[in-house]
Chain A
């Protein structure tokens, strides 16, 4: 366990300890554990869960969105299966939110970002790819249909998956909706 701790820098360790240990105490009220057991198990868990946070600073994200984004990775070391949890978080007006759906990102699109040409659509697609699981995939097709832009991200048994982006006449993005049956 001590060996594992050396992997995390001192600042991180302190933060994790202050974050994890008090949190753990609160969920053992009904568990018939002594204070000493609780404390020892809390420390064990704190050492078994590695937390990494990185800012997402890609140009595409900065050019499209007016918010700070972070990738939070939780790596459990209590098993050796190489798994981890990953969450993309967004900070806007000092509030942390989890990025889950494309549509929830629309209010945070920069006021000066206009979707009027293929390059703009490609940049929006690149930004979404860094923020949403549903935007990952090997397809790279972008189709314009009037005020709608269709961003194809993936193909699954002949069905194209991706986003339909609706803009107004000036190119301001008004809606982004995911579809697993895109009509092109």
Chain B
């Protein structure tokens, strides 16, 4: 059995364990490049199904193929499909790097879907990195070949040549917006010590706005959820409130931390049913999002999530599989037997161990604590839940009752071999300290605040006790 533990640390702040899952509205296979047209229900893909690849349009509202095209695609793979204001699609191809490095930019082709015709527009003669992302702003193609290190290449479709993005070398693009005919930019020399930077909007002619807000680039992942911080915009000019969404729906394909850098997309990603299988998010607009993984392309309606799981397994197969599973897993249940527990808490506690047969005599085990209170059974997930389970008659007012409290902790959370020597308790002011172990010379355990009568006001777990 494969046991996989994925800790989505960076995205942890978004994960809601009980969130409703969003199942795909469409699942396709053998798909190459993908784009979803902004503000429309059309997805354009390169299909690799037959002998030769082809372009196809899918109607996402109808969840069905709309049109398949026969125009012969370029020999080199299509990396990006860019819908443009002139009604044409532009295909950016990439080629193998002769020096075994990352792929190189190959060429730009136009595709006229009305005539089902492909035409070579531009061939790159230099050794240029393949664009990581590609977009259009009116009649200009925006090819991000340099990432954060430089400015994007702007290919002017009408003139058939490159033009300068900006003469100000400090300007970097955060995203392009075809809908607003502009680029969202920052100046790298304006980064403050707090990693925030003013945001500007540059129109298609290179005119720069006044600052329209702030981009906070800080990204912090911590086991303490309150310390997590994701990058994001604070827009001060309401005319530019579209920026956050434009940024979210740009920069594809996104994978790993780059998903976390797009907060709106990260939120949608975390709702997907295929969360653990998604390798990269390849396209999105205001309503739909497409992601790849396990050789499949999944399309989600992110505006109106599909909460019904598509049935891919027959009832008969499901029954056989569940029966097989039943033989593999057993749950061992036992009550905690401790006088101290009964004295300190009004709940009754149970240990539940899931024992999984991994084949032959190999087993894996994982345990959790459950409790019963007033006929209701629950899982003890957080130590803070203990506060609700205290016996109203219990007073932590002397060494004897503190020893009882410690015994109760020992029953619920038996100390490990290396922790035993650190087990102790003491009182300072209105708080009792119950040391449960040490980590990197820092004491850890519980701090229990009591009132003047010894009634417990709060039990708090601390990873660092002074």
Return the chain A residue nearest B314 by Cβ. A55
Contact mask for chain A residues 44-67; partner B; CB cutoff 8 A; 1 contact, 0 none? 110011011111111110000000
| Interface residue ranges of A71-101 to B (CB < 8 Å) | 72-74, 76-89, 91, 94, 96, 98, 100
Which A residues are CB-close (under 8 A) to B356? 85
Return the chain B residue nearest A48 by Cβ. B379
Which A residues are CB-close (under 8 A) to B377? 40-41, 43-44
Q: Is the beta-carbon distance between A80 and B381 smaller than 8 angstroms?
A: yes
Q: Is the beta-carbon distance between B17 and A15 smaller than 8 angstroms?
A: no
Q: Is the beta-carbon distance between B325 and A45 smaller than 8 angstroms?
A: no
- Interface residue from A7, A53, A83, A126 paired with B318 (Cβ < 8 Å): A53
Q: Is the beta-carbon distance between B332 and A86 smaller than 8 angstroms?
A: no
* Shortest CB distance A160–B (Å): 16
Contact mask for chain B residues 302-325; partner A; CB cutoff 8 A; 1 contact, 0 none? 000000110011010111111111
Return the chain B residue nearest A59 by Cβ. B29
Q: Is the beta-carbon distance between B372 and A96 smaller than 8 angstroms?
A: no
Return the chain B residue nearest A132 by Cβ. B2
Cα A81 to Cα B3 in complex, Å, equals 13
Q: Is the beta-carbon distance between B366 and A58 smaller than 8 angstroms?
A: no
Q: Is the beta-carbon distance between B294 and A130 smaller than 8 angstroms?
A: yes
Cα A83 to Cα B322 in complex, Å, equals 20
Residue A31 interfacial (CB < 8 Å):
yes
Interface size on B, residues (CB 8 A): 55
Which B residues are CB-close (under 8 A) to A70? 313, 317, 321
Return the chain B residue nearest A130 by Cβ. B294
Which B residues are CB-close (under 8 A) to A170? none
Residue B206 interfacial (CB < 8 Å):
no
Residue B21 interfacial (CB < 8 Å):
yes
- Interface residue from B12, B276, B295, B329 paired with A58 (Cβ < 8 Å): B295
Which A residues are CB-close (under 8 A) to B381? 78-80
Q: Is the beta-carbon distance between B352 and A45 smaller than 8 angstroms?
A: yes
Residue B159 interfacial (CB < 8 Å):
no
Q: Is the beta-carbon distance between A27 and B324 smaller than 8 angstroms?
A: no
Q: Is the beta-carbon distance between B2 and A87 smaller than 8 angstroms?
A: yes
| Interface residue ranges of A7-51 to B (CB < 8 Å) | 7, 9, 11-12, 15-16, 19-20, 23-24, 26-28, 31-33, 37-38, 40-45, 48-49, 51
Q: Is the beta-carbon distance between B320 and A85 smaller than 8 angstroms?
A: no
- Interface residue from B2, B324, B330 paired with A133 (Cβ < 8 Å): B2
Return the chain A residue nearest B21 by Cβ. A7
Given known pairs A7-B20, A58-B294, A86-B2, the reply for A19 and B326 (CB within 8 Å) is yes
Residue A4 interfacial (CB < 8 Å):
yes
Given known pairs A57-B312, A85-B3, the reply for A7 and B334 (CB within 8 Å) is no
Cα A38 to Cα B370 in complex, Å, equals 12
| Interface residue ranges of B324-356 to A (CB < 8 Å) | 324-326, 329-335, 350, 352, 354, 356
Residue A68 interfacial (CB < 8 Å):
yes
Q: Is the beta-carbon distance between B6 and A82 smaller than 8 angstroms?
A: yes
Cα A23 to Cα B330 in complex, Å, equals 7
Residue B18 interfacial (CB < 8 Å):
yes
Given known pairs A40-B377, A44-B379, A76-B354, the reply for A12 and B309 (CB within 8 Å) is yes
Interface size class of A (residues with CB under 8 A): 35 or more
Q: Is the beta-carbon distance between A72 and B321 smaller than 8 angstroms?
A: yes
Contact mask for chain B residues 232-254; partner A; CB cutoff 8 A; 1 contact, 0 none? 00000000000000000000000
- Interface residue from B12, B295, B331, B334 paired with A45 (Cβ < 8 Å): B331
Query: Number of residue pairs across A and B with beta carbons under 8 Å?
Result: 153
Return the chain B residue nearest A24 by Cβ. B331
Residue A3 interfacial (CB < 8 Å):
yes
Residue B296 interfacial (CB < 8 Å):
yes
Q: Is the beta-carbon distance between A83 and B4 smaller than 8 angstroms?
A: yes
- Interface residue from A1, A27, A80, A84 paired with B333 (Cβ < 8 Å): A27
Q: Is the beta-carbon distance between A86 and B4 smaller than 8 angstroms?
A: yes
Which B residues are CB-close (under 8 A) to A133? 2
Q: Is the beta-carbon distance between A7 and B333 smaller than 8 angstroms?
A: no
- Interface residue from A31, A42, A54 paired with B332 (Cβ < 8 Å): A31
Given known pairs A12-B309, A37-B372, A130-B294, the reply for A94 and B320 (CB within 8 Å) is yes
Q: Is the beta-carbon distance between A68 and B317 smaller than 8 angstroms?
A: yes
Residue B89 interfacial (CB < 8 Å):
no
- Interface residue from B18, B294, B317, B378 paired with A91 (Cβ < 8 Å): B317
* Shortest CB distance A142–B (Å): 16
Residue B7 interfacial (CB < 8 Å):
yes
- Interface residue from B295, B313, B330 paired with A55 (Cβ < 8 Å): B313
| Interface residue ranges of B132-180 to A (CB < 8 Å) | none
Which A residues are CB-close (under 8 A) to B6? 82-83
Residue B15 interfacial (CB < 8 Å):
yes
| Interface residue ranges of B11-34 to A (CB < 8 Å) | 12, 15, 17-18, 20-21, 29-30
- Interface residue from B5, B308, B368, B372 paired with A83 (Cβ < 8 Å): B5
- Interface residue from B1, B352, B368 paired with A85 (Cβ < 8 Å): B1
Residue B393 interfacial (CB < 8 Å):
no
Chain B residues engaging chain A, CB cutoff 8 angstroms:
1-8, 12, 15, 17-18, 20-21, 29-30, 276, 294-296, 308-309, 312-313, 315, 317-326, 329-335, 350, 352, 354, 356, 359, 366, 368, 370, 372, 377-379, 381
12 additional A-B pairs beyond A84-B276, A89-B321, A89-B324, beta carbons within 8 Å, are A1-B378, A11-B315, A23-B329, A31-B332, A41-B350, A53-B322, A57-B312, A58-B296, A81-B7, A86-B4, A87-B1, A126-B295
Chain A residues engaging chain B, CB cutoff 8 angstroms:
1, 3-4, 7, 9, 11-12, 15-16, 19-20, 23-24, 26-28, 31-33, 37-38, 40-45, 48-49, 51-60, 68, 70, 72-74, 76-89, 91, 94, 96, 98, 100, 126, 129-130, 133
Task: Give 17 CB contacts A-B under 8 Å.
Answer: A7-B18, A9-B308, A9-B309, A11-B315, A15-B319, A19-B326, A33-B335, A40-B372, A48-B379, A54-B312, A58-B29, A58-B295, A60-B295, A76-B354, A82-B7, A85-B2, A85-B356
